[in-house]
Structure 1
Amino acid sequence: MADRTLDASGLRCPMPLLKTKLELNAMSPGEDLEVIATDAGSARDIPAFLNLSSHTLVESTEANGEYRFVIKCGG
């Protein structure tokens, strides 16, 4: 169970990524963020951002055009 959930469904690129960054900035290290997005670009953009950050991608799934990410906030 994530500490916070960000529903970015219906938002177009780059808004899911920008909202994810803002949400992570407001969180404490160790907290989990669940992101739900429907923009296919999120499947590429969010993991690419996380690879360059202190945050960790815990889980990534896709089903019926819905992309779900669980991210552990880094320090």
Structure 2
Amino acid sequence: MAPVPNPPNAPQDEPQDIEAYVGLAQQDAEERASARGWTTVRSLPPGAIITMEYLGSRLNFEVKDGVVHRSWQG
């Protein structure tokens, strides 16, 4: 049996911290997330088809017209 990997720890942001990215310009949000320790930042257009794979160290943004409209972990 393969060993269980040790995934990187996600920043200890509270839900309101993750929601604070909404309304920011895409580039500003991505830079802030990286500076706060998120190992993967994924920006997606509205309605994008994405995998159901959950990564606790990933922050997702739904971006429309260069502005973050939604953000969530995983």
TM-score > 0.5, shorter chain as reference: no
Pick the structure with greater CA Rg: 2
TM-score range, shorter chain: 0.3 to 0.5
Q: Which has the higher helix share?
A: 1
Q: So what's the TM-score if we normalise by structure 1?
A: 0.33
Q: Which has the higher strand share?
A: 1
